[in-house]
Structure 1
Amino acid sequence: MTPTTTTQPMPPTTSTLPTPTSALGRLWQSPPLLALLGAALLWAGWPTHPAPFTLLLFVGFVPYLRLEQVLTAQGARRGRVFAMSYLFLVLWNAFTTWWVSYSTLGGGIAAVVLNAALMCLPLMAFRRTKERLGAKMGYFSLPIYWIAFEQLHLHWDLTWPWLTLGNGFASVPSWVQWYEYTGFLGGSVWLWGVNILIFWAWAGRRRLPYWTNSWPALAIGLPLIFSFGLGRSYQEKGPEAEVLVIQPNIDPYEEKFPGTARFITFEEQLKRLLDRTEQNIAPQTRLVLWPETTLDETYFETTFDREAKVQHIRQVLLARHPGLSLLTGITSVVRYPDKEHATVTARHRDDLGYYDVFNTAAFFPDASAPAQFYHKSRLVPGVEKIPPVLTGLLNNIDLGGVAGSYGSQEQRTVFASPGTPALRVGPIICYESIYGDFINQYAHNGATLLGIITNDGWWSDSPGHEQHLVYGALRAIETRRDVARSANTGISGFVNQHGEITQRTGWWVGAAARSVVHLNDEQTFYVRYGELIGRGAQLLAGLLVLGAVAGPLVRKK
C-alpha cells in the first residue's frame, strides 16, 4: 500500500540541526540574533510606520518560533528558553514603547521590563504544553494562551494592553473592517495564525507537498478580501450633527500646572479656550469638546455649578449659543460622610475627611442645566492607579506627595444633548480609548458618538501620540460610531465609522477642527455580544493547562 501524503500543514518536527555554512544560516540558528530579528520585524510593522510595513507583522513571530525550535533541538534548559524569549519580548517592547519614558523615566523602564516579563507567561505555557502534549497541540495552544493573556491584560490591576496584537492593524483600518464582529482580539488571532502557518510552510518545505505553501497566502488574503468587501458595502449611518474640537496646545511640562517654568494662570488658560472656541464655532454647531483636565483646579462636584469659572463658561459661551453642549475635562473631588460610605480608593485628610479624586469628564447640556460627570475608569497603572497589594506599602513611604489611586466608576455614562436628541456622546478619557470591550459599553448604553478627550503632550514628539490616535480609530470600526477627538497638545480631529481619520490637526500647535458627524444608534455584533474571543481563549487555555498537567499522568497510569 502506498502511504497517503498529508494535505494539511503540519507542525515541524525537531531534529538535529545541521552546521550552518553561511552568515544567513548562522543567523537562523542563533537565538540572540533571532530574538533581535523578531523584535525588529514587529517594531517595523507596528503603527505608525508606513502601511505596507504592516505586512511584516505576519512574519514577526517566525524568528521566535525558529528560536524555540533551535533551543529545543539543542536540549536547552528552561532557564535559557525563558531568557531568550524574554530578550525577544523586551527588545520589542523597548523598540515600540520607549517613548513612555518621556512622561516618567521609571514608568517607562517599568512598562518595558515588566510587560515583557508578563508576555513570557503565554510563551512558557506554550513551551510546556508542547513538551507534554506534542508539537501539534503545542502550536495549537500558542495563540490561545497569548490571547487569553491579552484578555487578562485588559482587566487586571497591572493592565497595559498597548501591544495587544490586534492594535497592530490600526494604521490600515481597511484591512480589519470585520472588527465589528470580532473586536481587536480578532486581529490577534489573525496575526498568530498566519505566523504559525508561514513557519510551518518554511520548516516543513522538504516533506510537505509544494501546494501547501498556499495556506499562508490564503490566511492573509481571505480576511483582506472580506474586509475590503465589507468596507465597500458599509454606509455611514445615523442623523447628522456638527461638532467642534479644540486643541489649546498648553505645554504640560512648562505651562499648564502651577510651579512649572512658564505657568499660564488658569484664568488665562480658560480665556484662550473660550477665544479659540468663539473664533471657530458656527451657528449649527451642537457640541464642543475641550481636552482632558482643561479645568485642572480641584473642583468639589457638589459645588461645581457655583464656581466662578463655571458660571463664566455658561455666560460667555453656552448662553450665546442656544442648543450648544460642552464636554470638557476637569479634576474633581467627591467627599464621603464617613469611612463606611467611602470607596476602596478613598483618601483621608483631617480637614476633609474621606474623599476621592477623579480624572473627570464634565458635561454642560446647555447654559442652565446642572453639569453631569463621568469619572475615568481605566486608569494608568502606577500613575493613576496603585495596585492594592502596593497601597499599604506606599502609604508608609514619604514620596513627597499623596499616595493612592484616583477614584473610578463601574458604569459607562452617556451624555445626552437636549438640543439634539440623537446626539448622545460617550466620554472617553485618554488611556481608555485603547480598550475595545470597555468602549463597547458606551455604545451598549446608547452612545451615538464617541468623544475622546486627552492630553498626549506627555510623550513629546514621539510615536506615542500617533499610536494613541490610530488605536482610537479601531474603536470606530468595532462600534460603527464616529469619533470626535480633542487633545491638549496631541492630535485632534475626527474619525468616521470606517475607522478613517477624516480630519486631523497638526502636532504641538493651537488648533480647532469642525466636522459633521453621523449619530449611529445601531449595535454591531461586537457591541451586542462583547469579547467572545478573549473569554473563549481563557476557557480553552484553562482546559489546555489541565490537559498538559493531567494528560501525561493519565497515560502513565
Structure 2
Amino acid sequence: MLTKPAPATPAALPAVAFTWTRPASWPPALLAGLSAGLLWLGWPVHPAPLALLLLVAWVPYLSLEAALVRRGSSGWKVFRYSYLTLVLWNAFTTWWVSYSTLWGGITAVIFNALFMCMPVMAFYHTKRLAGPRLGYLSLPVYWIAFEQLHLHWDFTWPWLTLGNGFATANGLVQWYEYTGFLGGSLWIWVANLLVFFSLQKYQDAATGAGPTLGRVQVQRLLLGPLLAILLPIGLSKIIGSRYQEKGAAAEVLVIQPNFDPFEEKFEGGARFIPYQEQLQRLFQLTEQNLTPQTRLVLWPETALEEQNWEAQFEANPKALQIRAFLARHPGLELVTGATTLTSYPTREAARPSSRFRDDIGYYDFFNTAVFFADAAKPVEFYHKSRLVPGVEGVPHWLSAFVIDLGGAAGGLGSQDTRSVFRPAAGDSSLRVAPVICYESVYGDFVGEYVQNGATLIGIITNDGWWSDSPGHQQHLQYATLRAIETRRDVARSANTGISGYINQKGEITRQTGWWVPAAARGTVHLNTDLTFYVRYGELIGRAAQALAVLLLAFVLVRALNRRFAT
C-alpha cells in the first residue's frame, strides 16, 4: 500500500543545504579591499545605478571588524585594517588631487584616511565597552558627527562625505531639500547595518552556528533592509515627480576661456598668455554670445589674476575696460573672479591671515568674486571663505608646507558673512550667490547665501588643476546636490572645467565640453522660497555631534568603572 509523503516543513530551508564560506572567514585584507572597491564603484562619476552599491559597501568592513573581535584581535589590529579600508577608498576616489601636486595628493589620501579612523575606532571601543547593541547604534552617530566636524575645522575636506555619493544618482535623494547631504550619509549607514545584521543571521543559520531559519524568518530578514533601501527611493521619486521649477525666468551667460593653469594662465608658465590677451578672450566670447535678453554674465575664478588692490580697483585699467563694455550693454550685470589685496593701517586692524612687508605694512590676499552691477555703480567684493586646506587656508604652524598652485597661494584672507550680489535698480529678483570653487562642496555653507536672499547660485571655478580626471566631473556633480538642497538653479563658469546649468531638481540642463574655449547661454528660474534645509541647516550633523559627546562620556565612565572595579 502506497502512502502519501508528508509535506515539507517550512524549516527545511535550502539555505543550509550547501557549504557556506562566511565572509568573516575571508582574509581581512580582502574584506578591506572589497569595501573600498564598492565605495569607489558607487561614487561619482560612475554610472548612476552603481550608487546603490553604497548601500551595501560597508558590509565587508563590518564583517571584517566583527571577525577580528571574535578572534580576540587587539585594537591596534582593528585600527590597521580600518585604516587600510579607508586609505584604499581615499586613494581610489581622490587620486586625481596628485595632478595639481604629487605631495598634496599623497598627503590628502594619507591624512584624510587617518581622520576617518576616528569615528570607526570610537565605534570599536564603544562596542567593546558597552556591548554590540549600543556599539552598532553608535557607528552612524560617530561617523556623521565626524562629517559635521569635517565641514568646519582647519583640515576640512568633505569631498568624501558619504551623502555626496548620490550626486550622479540625485534622483534617489530629492529629499535632500529637508535633510541635506548628511541625510544621505545616515541612509547609507542604516541600510548597511541592516544588511549586515540580516546577513549575519543568515550565515549563522547556514553554517549551523545559529538556529535554522524557516521561509517566514528569511522573509523577515529581507524585509528590514529592503524597506530601508526602497522607502527613501520611493519618497524621492514622489518628491521629484511633483516638483516644478519656481521663480521668474532670466537669461544668463557663462564663459569658459580655457587657459591652461599650469602653462598659460599664470605668469611664469611656459606658454604664459599676457593678462590683457586673456581679458580680450573673455570679452570676445561674451560679445559673440550675448543677446538683448541677457541679464548676467559669469566669468570664472581668478579671471582677473593680476594683483588688484581693492582701494584702487575703480581706477584699474581692466575694471575701466569692463565698465566701458557694460556701458555698451545697458541692463547687463557681470560677476568675475579676481585676485585682490587689502591693506590695514595697523597690526590691530589686521586679520590672523594677514602678511607683512616693510613697504606695505599688513595686508591680505583674497580669492575674490567682483560684482559689476552696471557701468557706473561701485563694484562689490566677496572673498572666498571656505579655503582649500594646504593650498589657500593654512594654519600658521603649517605655513611652511603651503602647496603653491599659482596666484596667491597659502594663507588667503576670508570673510565672515555670505555676500549676495543684488542688481543696481529695477527688478531685484536676480540675486546671485557668488560661490567660489571649493565652496560648492559645502551644503550648509551654500545655504547661508540663500538665507541672505540669493535666488541663483553662481559658481565660478578653475578645475583645470586636476586635468581630465574624475576630479572636475565630481565637482560638477556635487553642485547638483546644492541645487536640490536649496531648490536654486545653478549657473557655473569654469576656466578649464565644465561650465553649464543645473535646474532646481539637480538636473544638468546644459554643459560645455572639457578643455575647450566655450560659452553657454541658459534660462534660469529665480526661486525665492526657502527649503526646510536652508531654514534649519545641518540638524542631523548637530544632533549627531551632541549624541556623540554623550556616548563618549558614557563609554568613558564605563571604562573608568571597570578600571576601578579591578
TM-score (norm 1): 0.93
Q: Which amino acid aligns with 1:133?
A: A
Q: C-alpha distance in 1, partners of 2:401/2:535?
A: 41
CA spacing shift, 1:81–1:454, aligned 2, 3 Å: same
Choose which of 317, 335, 339 in structure 2 pairs with 1:308.
317
Q: Which residue of 2 aligns with 1:431?
A: 438
Q: Which residue of 2 aligns with 1:160?
A: 157
Q: Is 2:246 the counterpart of 1:240? A: no
The CA deviation at 1:190 is 0.1
Equivalent pairs counted in the alignment come to: 534
- Paired residues of 2:370 and 2:379 also in contact (CA < 8 A): yes
Choose which of 383, 398, 402 in structure 2 pairs with 1:390.
398
The CA deviation at 1:25 is 5.1
CA spacing shift, 1:329–1:401, aligned 2, 3 Å: closer
Q: C-alpha distance in 1, partners of 2:345/2:25?
A: 66
CA spacing shift, 1:39–1:229, aligned 2, 3 Å: same
- Paired residues of 1:29 and 1:70 also in contact (CA < 8 A): no
The equivalences for 1:81-92 within 5 A come to: 81-92=78-89
Q: C-alpha distance in 1, partners of 2:407/2:414?
A: 20
Q: C-alpha distance in 1, partners of 2:372/2:71?
A: 66
**SS, match of residue 440 in structure 2:** helix
Q: Which residue of 2 aligns with 1:71?
A: 68
Choose which of 24, 29, 51 in structure 1 pairs with 2:26.
29
Q: Is 2:401 the counterpart of 1:412? A: no
- Paired residues of 1:252 and 1:457 also in contact (CA < 8 A): yes
Q: C-alpha distance in 2, partners of 1:249/1:312?
A: 21
Q: C-alpha distance in 2, partners of 1:492/1:342?
A: 36
Q: Which residue of 1 aligns with 2:497?
A: 490
Choose which of 507, 510, 532 in structure 2 pairs with 1:503.
510
The CA deviation at 1:36 is 0.6
Q: C-alpha distance in 2, partners of 1:487/1:318?
A: 21
CA spacing shift, 1:272–1:404, aligned 2, 3 Å: closer
- Paired residues of 1:158 and 1:387 also in contact (CA < 8 A): no
Q: C-alpha distance in 2, partners of 1:544/1:508?
A: 49
- Paired residues of 1:348 and 1:354 also in contact (CA < 8 A): yes
Q: C-alpha distance in 2, partners of 1:379/1:143?
A: 27
CA spacing shift, 1:394–1:509, aligned 2, 3 Å: closer
Q: Deviations over 1:344-388 (max 9, x none)?
A: 110000111000000000000001111100000000001101123
The CA deviation at 1:523 is 0.6
**SS, match of residue 296 in structure 2:** strand
Q: Which amino acid aligns with 1:155?
A: H
**SS, match of residue 540 in structure 1:** helix
Q: C-alpha distance in 2, partners of 1:96/1:404?
A: 25
**SS, match of residue 254 in structure 2:** strand
The equivalences for 1:171-320 within 5 A come to: 171-205=168-202, 206=205, 207=211, 209-210=217-218, 211-315=220-324, 317-320=325-328
TM-score (norm 2): 0.92
Q: Which residue of 2 aligns with 1:457?
A: 464
Q: Which structure: larger Rg? A: 2
**SS, match of residue 137 in structure 1:** helix
- Paired residues of 2:305 and 2:407 also in contact (CA < 8 A): no
- Paired residues of 1:479 and 1:526 also in contact (CA < 8 A): yes
Q: Is 2:447 the counterpart of 1:440? A: yes
Q: Which residue of 1 aligns with 2:360?
A: 352
Q: Deviations over 1:214-236 (max 9, x none)?
A: 11110011011111100111111
Q: Which amino acid aligns with 1:261?
A: A
Q: Which amino acid aligns with 1:226?
A: L
Q: Which residue of 2 aligns with 1:521?
A: 528
Q: C-alpha distance in 2, partners of 1:304/1:173?
A: 41
Which structure 2 residue ranges, 5 or more long, are not aligned?
1-17, 206-210
Q: Which residue of 2 aligns with 1:342?
A: 350
Q: Which residue of 2 aligns with 1:107?
A: 104
Identity percentage of aligned residues: 62
Q: C-alpha distance in 2, partners of 1:98/1:440?
A: 29
Which structure 1 residue ranges, 5 or more long, are not aligned?
1-19
